[in-house]
Amino acid sequence: MDEHAGDGSVLDLLEKRIEETVGQLQDCRKENETLRSEIASLQSILRSCKLPVSGASDEEQDEGFSYTEKVRIKQKLVQILQRIEVELRNDSAG
């Protein structure tokens, strides 16, 4: 009879851990959905970035940024988005 009492506590512990794991999974899914939404928003902003035509000089300023600065900013944003996407894929696969 002692074995059955031990089985009950082990099953209770297992059930508790499963509930915790399911809760964590749901939290992760919500966070991933939020991150995906933010990525989509950032991608939209990035796509709408209008850079001056190539050949514009560095001295030509538009909204306070030179052509070279805008290119660097856009490249940096692309790198950040790529890193975020890689992290999301790794989290989804794991």
CB 67 within 8 A of CB 52: yes
What does pLDDT average to in each consecutive run of 10 residues of the chain (94 residues)? 65 93 91 86 76 52 70 83 81 68
Q: Which residues contact 52 (CB under 8 A, 6 or more apart)?
A: 60, 62, 67, 70
Domain tally for the chain?
Answer: 1
- C-alpha–C-alpha distance, residues 11 and 78, integer Å: 48
Look up residue 13 and give its DSSP letter. Answer: H
Can you give the residue range of the structural domain that contains 84?
2-93
* pTM over 0.75, yes/no: no
